[in-house]
Structure 1
C-alpha cells in the first residue's frame, strides 16, 4: 500500500485542483482587447468558488508574440500589455487570500530570436553569448525531427552572418538555449529565484526532455559530462532551498517507464513532484472512440509504482493540440475518424485542435469523462473553459483554436472585453458553442449545469485527500465499456465505475465482495447498500458510481 504522505504545508500540491489559463484571453479590465492581470484578479473569487486551489499561468513575459507568449524576449519581466510586476504581486496576494497558490510556466528551453542574448550570440563567433546557444558548422547526420512538422523542415537553421547552424527543436525563430553552459544555468537559477521571491509556489516546466537534453545530445564543446536528469535534480534542490513548499510540475510526454528518471525521489528536493500522464490520456481517447474501456484500463495498470511523494497529474485536454503521438498508427486513425473527421480539425499529423464537448457531442459523455478524471489517484488539471464546456474556433489557426476568450456572459462580447471584437486577440466560437449558449453566468445560476458538476467533483476530491494518494487497482469486468477501479489508502477505499459505452444502453453489474458483509456508500448522494456475497446494480448510459467501501480492507472481486 502506498505510504500516507506527511501532513505538512510543504506538500500542499498533493491533492490540489489545478487550473490552467492564458491571461491574455481570460478577462480584459481596461478595454484594450487583451486580457490582463487586473482582469484575472477580478475573477479569483470565481476560481475559488469552482474549487480551484492552484492556478497555473501560461507565459506572461515580454514576447515577440509569434507563439502565444512562448517566444520570450525577457524572462525577468511582465508583458506590459498584461500588466506590471506590481500587478502580479497583487494577484499572488489575492489568490493566497482565497486559498489558492499560483505556479507559472517555466520556458527556458529556448528564447525568441529577438531576445538580446540571441541577438548578441548571432552577431559574431566571438560574442560573449555565442555559447549560450547551440551552434555547429553543419547539422548532425541524423538530426532530431522538428516538434512542429510541416512548419519547419529541420531543427537546424543556417545563420548567414557567421555561416554556422543553430539548433531549434521548435521553430526557427525560437533558438534552443545551451542548457549545459554554466552561464545559462546561472540565468535559470536567477529566473527561478526571482519568481519564487515574488511569491509563486512553483513552476510548470515546459518540454522537459528537450529542455534538459539539447546541448548534451548534440556534441557541443560546453556539454561535457552534462546529465539532464541530474541538472533537474540540482534545480529541484535550488528551488527547495529558496522556497520549501515549491512545486515542480513537468511536461514529460514519454512512456511511463521513461518518466521515472524525472520524478522526485522524496517529493521535495530531487526532480519533479508531478508529471502529466500523457499515456493514460491518449488511451482514454482511444477507449472513447472504441466505446471500450480496455485501452485505458491497460494504461492505468501500466502506471509504475512512484516514490511516496511523487504522483501523476491527470488531465483530459491541455492548452496545446490534443496530442496522440503515443498511439499506434491504426489507433491514431481510429481516434481521428471518431473525433476529427475533417483534415482541418487535425494538427501536425498527431493531434486534434478541438475541445472535448465538440468531439463527443453529448454532454452526458463530457460529464462522464471529467468524473472519471477526478476519480483517479493523482491531481486533476483543468484547462480554462472546460468547466462550462467551451468549444473551439476552427477558423483560428493551429493551437490557437482552443485558446479563445473566456465566455463569462451571454452577450456578443462574452463579458470578456468592452473593446470592439476586431481589436481582440482571437474571435469567439460560434453556433451551439457561442457565448449566448455557453457562458459562466447562466451555468452558475443552473444547479444542473456542467459548471455545478465540476464544482461538485472538486469538492468531493478535496474532501477525500486519501484519493490523491491512493493505490490503484483496475478490476477486470465482463462489460467491455465499463472501467472499474478501486482506490485504496490507509483505512479508506473507493470503488469507481464508469460506463464509456455508446450512450444508448445502461449496463447491469455484479459486485462480489469477500470478508463478510460490506457496505458501499455512494459518494454523490450518501445512499448506501449492503453486499453479502454478491450484489447487482445498474449503471446508466454514460453513467458512473463512486462507492466508498466499508470496511476499507474488504476485497472487491470481478464485477
Structure 2
C-alpha cells in the first residue's frame, strides 16, 4: 500500500446529490459550476480529522453518475476542468488526497462507442460490449447500464488511459465501482500498467461478498470495501448480539493479512447508520467499533452530523441518503454537532495511534450486550488499546488481566474496567 494511504481517513461524498444537481443531464446545456461548493467544506474536513476526500462519480453521465457517457469530461452539472483543477489544488493545500470513482464495469447507453455498436453490432465498437441471449448484457438487470467486454484489448487500453489521465491531473487514487463484476485479471493488468507511471496511486475495489483477501491478491488492488464489518456492527447492536461482531472481527484479522480494507458504517448505497441503529444511544458504539480496528476508515458525508435516511429499492430510492448539503457547514442543523465532536475525538485518537491501520483484534470478554477486545500492532504487540462496549441497561464490570491501562476516551466520567449502562471506554497507555 502506498505511504500516504497508511494515514488516510476519508470523507466520502456523492457529489451530484451534495450540490443538488438535476436528476438527469439536459440534452443541451451550458456548464454549471457547483463543484466550487466543496471549497466551503475543506476546513470542516480537516477539523474533523480527515486526510482524504473520496468523491462519487464526477464524470459526464446521463443521470445518477454511474451511467457514464464520457470518462474524460467533468459532468457539466458539476463543472468543468478548471473547476476540478481548482478543487484539487485547494484540497492539496488542505492536506487532502482526492480519490475518484471509476465506473468501468458498465457505461450508459449514450456512451459514444455503444451508440456505434448499436448501429453496427458486428463492428469493432461492438466488441467493446458483452452479449447475452442475443442482445447486450446489462448490469444486474439495469437496462441503461451496458456491460463492457473486459476481454477486449481496446477496453483495457481505454480504462488505463482514463485512470492515468486523472492521476496526471492530481487525483491520488481510485474507487473501482462494481469491481466484483469485473474479472480480477483485468484489474491486475490495468493496475500494473498504471503503476508504471503512477507508483503511489491507491486503488480500492467495491466488493460486497466473498473472500476480500483472495480478491485483493488476484486483482492487485490495495483495499477492498469491508461490507462484512459494516453489517456486523449495526446488526450486533440492533440484535443485542456482540457474538456476531466478535466473529466478524476474527475474519477481519484474516483479511488484514492480505489487504487493508476500507472500513465504514455508511456510504451512498446503504441506509444511514443514524437510521439503521434502532437505539440512537448505540450510534456511539458503532463509531467506537469502526475507529478502533484495522483498516482505512471512511466517513460518509453527513453521518458525522447524525443525518438520517433510508435506502429503498425503487426508482429514486437513493435520494434520501444522497441529499443536498448547504453551501457551508454554517447551514447545518444544530442537532448534529455533538456527533461531529464525537467523530473528532475518535479520529483524533486514531491519528495518535497510526499503527491502527494494520491492527489486529483479540477478544477479551464477550456476552450478548457487552464486548471487550484488545486492538494491537502485530509488529509491536505492546502498542495496544482495550475497547469496552456495553449496550445493556446495567453497568458491566470487565475482568481485565493484566490491568494498568489508562482511560483515553469514553462515555461518562468513570475510569477503569467498570462501564456504565449504554456506555463505552477505550483504555491504553498515554
SS of equivalent to 1:542: coil
Aligned length: 413
User: What CA distance in whole angstroms lies between the structure 2 residues aligned with 1:497 and 1:105?
Assistant: 36
User: What CA distance in whole angstroms lies between the structure 1 residues aligned with 2:195 and 2:287?
Assistant: 33
Matching residue of 1:474 = 363
- Residues 311-350 of structure 1 correspond to what in structure 2 (within 5 A)? 311-321=260-270
Matching residue of 1:292 = 241
Of 263, 269, 272, the residue aligned with 1:355 is 272
Contact 1:315/1:380 (<8 A) preserved: yes
- Residues 200-219 of structure 1 correspond to what in structure 2 (within 5 A)? 200-210=171-181, 212=182
Matching residue of 1:465 = 354
Q: Displacement, 1:480? A: 2.2
SS of equivalent to 2:374: strand
Q: Displacement, 1:78? A: 0.2
Q: Considering only CA atoms, is the larger Rg found in Structure 1 or Structure 2?
A: 1
Contact 1:521/1:547 (<8 A) preserved: yes
Q: Displacement, 1:301? A: 1.1
- Residues 164-183 of structure 1 correspond to what in structure 2 (within 5 A)? 164-170=134-140, 171-183=142-154
Matching residue of 1:104 = 100
Matching residue of 2:316 = 397
Q: Displacement, 1:375? A: 0.9
- Residues 60-79 of structure 1 correspond to what in structure 2 (within 5 A)? 60-65=58-63, 68-79=64-75
Q: Which moved more, 1:305-314 or 1:43-52?
A: 305-314
Matching residue of 1:484 = 372
- Residues 479-518 of structure 1 correspond to what in structure 2 (within 5 A)? 479-489=367-377, 490=380, 491-501=382-392, 504-513=393-402, 518=403
Matched, 1:377 2:294: yes
Of 29, 40, 43, the residue aligned with 1:42 is 40
For the aligned residues, what is the CA RMSD? 2.7
Q: Which has the higher helix share?
A: 2
Of 403, 407, 423, the residue aligned with 1:543 is 423
Of 129, 132, 137, the residue aligned with 2:128 is 132
Q: Displacement, 1:73? A: 0.7
TM-score (norm 2): 0.88
Matching residue of 2:189 = 234
Contact 1:273/1:310 (<8 A) preserved: yes
Contact 1:50/1:455 (<8 A) preserved: yes
Matching residue of 1:553 = none
Matching residue of 2:8 = 16
User: What CA distance in whole angstroms lies between the structure 2 residues aligned with 1:302 and 1:402?
Assistant: 29
Contact 1:24/1:35 (<8 A) preserved: no
Contact 1:24/1:36 (<8 A) preserved: no
Contact 2:20/2:324 (<8 A) preserved: no
User: What CA distance in whole angstroms lies between the structure 2 residues aligned with 1:389 and 1:234?
Assistant: 41
Of 163, 183, 200, the residue aligned with 1:245 is 200
SS of equivalent to 2:192: helix
Matching residue of 1:555 = none
User: What CA distance in whole angstroms lies between the structure 1 residues aligned with 2:257 and 2:240?
Assistant: 34
User: What CA distance in whole angstroms lies between the structure 1 residues aligned with 2:159 and 2:285?
Assistant: 41
SS of equivalent to 1:311: coil
Q: Displacement, 1:487? A: 1.3
Matching residue of 2:215 = 262
C-alpha offsets along residues 354-403 of structure 1, whole Å, 9 cap, x if unaligned?
32223335443212211211011112111100011011278993122211
Q: Which has the higher strand share?
A: 2
User: What CA distance in whole angstroms lies between the structure 1 residues aligned with 2:33 and 2:264?
Assistant: 25
SS of equivalent to 1:173: strand
Matching residue of 2:88 = 92
User: What CA distance in whole angstroms lies between the structure 2 residues aligned with 1:252 and 1:393?
Assistant: 22
Unaligned runs of 5+ in 1: 140-163, 213-227, 322-353, 416-434, 444-448, 530-535, 551-559
User: What CA distance in whole angstroms lies between the structure 2 residues aligned with 1:70 and 1:25?
Assistant: 13
Contact 1:16/1:462 (<8 A) preserved: no
Contact 2:253/2:360 (<8 A) preserved: no
TM-score (norm 1): 0.69
